[in-house]
Amino acid sequence: MPNPQLDQFTSALFWKVVPWLILGGGVAILVGTFLKWLERRAISFGQERRKKRDPQRCTPPVETELQESEAPHCPICNAPMVKRTAKRGAREGSEFWGCRNYPECRGTRDT
């Protein structure tokens, strides 16, 4: 047998809690959207500052061009590779084959 007092209590509780849950969900969506927008602005702002600060650093590195038949193909995207020089890390100064589509593709091969 249903308890009429319990039904009345749950109904009253439901109508007091649900609007707050809906409002909280809407606020969470708005805050998430704002944070994504803020992150995109911060990334684009950082890129603009880098371009203003050091324009040479943002230009693509000079690639040594070889004939298409001599260059190996990328193991990831099968594009022709170009010879590059490592600028940092344990192999700094050594040459390697890097994908022409960098940074979309990060395929490399040793020389």
Confidence of residue 71 (pLDDT cuts 50, 70, 90): confident
pLDDT > 70: percent of the chain:
80
Confidence of residue 29 (pLDDT cuts 50, 70, 90): very high
Give the integer Cα–Cα distance in Å for 39 and 65.
38
Specify the pLDDT at position 51.
67
Residues in the chain: 111
Is pTM beyond 0.75? Reply is: no
- Cβ-Cβ contacts under 8 Å for 66 (sequence gap 6 or more): 82, 83
Average pLDDT over residues 12-23: 89
